[in-house]
Chains A and B, each alone.
Chain A
Amino acid sequence: MTNRIIAPENLVYEKPKLMNDTAMHYCPGCSHGVVHKLVAEVVAEMGMEDKTVGVCPVGCAVFAYRYLDIDWQEAAHGRAPAVATGVKRVWPDRLVFTYQGDGDLACIGAAETIHALNRGENIPIIFINNAIYGMTGGQMAPTTLLGQKTATCPFGREPDLHGYPLNITELASHLKGTCYVTRQSVDTMASIAKAKKAIRKAFDASMQGKGSSLIEIVSTCNSGWKMSPVKANEWMRENMFKEYVKGDLKDTTAL
């Protein structure tokens, strides 16, 4: 008996064309894979497959270039916005974006992030905020919540000892060079759809020369948080969403 359901005319969803078959190194339950998929879909829907350059960070997404079949540059830790500036300024008709984590973007690369955004570079920055250093094994990030336990604040983050969580997305919304600053998540089907729209808007805005965009994706790191994927999503909604409130912080794109 042949399966009559598996037929081209019945196809309602498929793997994004720009995603290859390389097995991802991400942990099961991690948000990175979903966001990679959204980026692949958006680039293809814009018809920019042959005109896109991605810039990867140092952190869990250091190997992002393995999974999406576009040109990529691997930047030094925190330097992705400067590297992207270099690419975009010499190829202004290309789609140039960065993909960075919280340690890369908000800590070691805070200067590059703020100045690229403030110059209004026509670059969308995708910011994965999971409040921890995943790649190096779960140390404190600039976005680690107060009381949250990590390998370098094993008794919980205390403001007197470790300072406060850095809300760099709020900061970015006050910079004149930014046209779109938003905070999303990818924990439900509805939120994934919203996050994709946000990425599309930011990518479109960059190609229309409207300025820089920051798309924060509040994300899970179930390995770093030492939780099951389901529990990590629950913990994120209960704790992360209070400190990192979802929604658009700034939108002057008129898109």
Chain B
Amino acid sequence: MAEHEITLMKGNEAIAHAAIRCGADAFFGYPITPQSEIIETLSLLKPWETTGMVVLQAESEVASINMVYGGAGAGKRVFTTSSSPGVALMQEGISYMAGAELPGVFVNVQRGGPGLGTIQPSQSDYFQATRGGGNGDYNVIVLAPNSVQEMADFVDLAFELAFKYRNPAMILSDGVIGQMMEKVVLPPQKPRRTEEEVLKECPWATFGRKGERTPNIITSLELKPEVMEVRNLHLQKKYKKIRETEVRYETMQCEDAEYIIVSFGSAARIGEKAIEQAREEV
């Protein structure tokens, strides 16, 4: 394979390929339109025969996110994907992951709501994604791709940020980016981390108490209010640091702008074109 081989694929397929290539350890998911190509592609690629990555269809989104909780709590690179109604079901698990500070990754290929809504693309989960979503005061790290290339690039980035901050990270996509086909350069294959690497990177993880260390406990429970307060202050401090150091955005032609369009995902692509056309008309 050439070093920069360009392929044509859907955003959903790019997520699946990129996950295997970035050394993910497991995927747990449940089918839902418009993102089922992710679990279908993973099932076709059979990564358990090559990298050893686990692919499991769960009984629900509730189960999927809790499998991610278990795998992430055991120090592995584990992720799930869904679309809006399924991500709504996952909010309990995401809140628990935020509380227990677990580095899982999840993808929301958004569709319209409320309720069963529609299978058409939407960006209506923006506030759920950026304000927490479940119970308690928490934030997840959110990356919003605007192309198939970014779908591929953000998988590894989401894992890196999730483990760096011990925090769940979300890729907030939508039905347009998930379904459309574009050219993409897939990342090179990284090996999955060895047990020694997991031990080194995640001394907090629960995969058996090695040697003389005290047991590791993954929990979000704390009944003493003064301890819970300290825990919440710690979380807020972490979120502040993430906001200060990890915000990513692109600007175009802002220098002399009278109006600035702020957008993300598929809307950012439309915004780009709108700016181009508006500048031509002036």
Contact = CB atoms under 8 A, between A and B. Distances in A.
A122 interface: no
Contacts of B207: 53, 71, 87, 91, 94
Nearest to A69: B215
Contacts of A85: 28, 56, 58, 63, 67, 70
A62 B56 CA distance: 27
Interface stretch (A4-12, A75-83, A226-234): A75-83
A85 B27 CA distance: 12
Interface in A47-99: 49-53, 55, 62, 65, 68-76, 79, 82-91, 94
A87 B72 CA distance: 8
A71 to B, nearest CB: 4
Contacts of A70: 209, 215
A96 to B, nearest CB: 8
B54 A89 contact: yes
Contacts of B217: 65, 71-74
Size range of the chain A interface in the assembly: 20 to 34
B28 A86 contact: yes
Contacts of A86: 26, 28, 66-74, 78
Contact of B70 (A52, A69, A73): A73
A168 to B, nearest CB: 16
Interface in B219-234: 219-221
A147 B232 CA distance: 45
A75 to B, nearest CB: 7
B93 interface: yes
Nearest to A91: B207
Given A65-B215, A82-B58, A90-B74, A71 B208 contact: yes
B73 A83 contact: yes
A111 interface: yes
Interface size classification for chain B:
35 or more
Interface string B57-84: 0111011101111111110101000000
A84 to B, nearest CB: 6
Nearest to B53: A90
Which of B28, B64, B69 has most A Cβ within 10 Å? B69
Interface string B146-162: 00000000000000000
A49 B64 CA distance: 28
A79 B215 contact: no
Nearest to B55: A89
B63 A111 contact: yes
B182 interface: no
A244 B212 CA distance: 42
B114 interface: no
The 4 closest A-B pairs by CB, nearest first: A86-B70, A74-B219, A82-B66, A86-B67
30 contacts: A50-B210, A52-B209, A55-B70, A65-B215, A65-B217, A69-B209, A71-B216, A71-B217, A72-B206, A72-B215, A72-B218, A72-B219, A73-B206, A74-B221, A75-B66, A75-B69, A76-B96, A83-B69, A85-B58, A86-B26, A86-B71, A86-B72, A87-B70, A87-B71, A87-B73, A88-B70, A90-B78, A91-B208, A94-B208, A111-B59
Interface of B: 25-26, 28, 54, 56, 58-60, 62-64, 66-74, 76, 78, 92-93, 96, 100, 206-211, 214-221
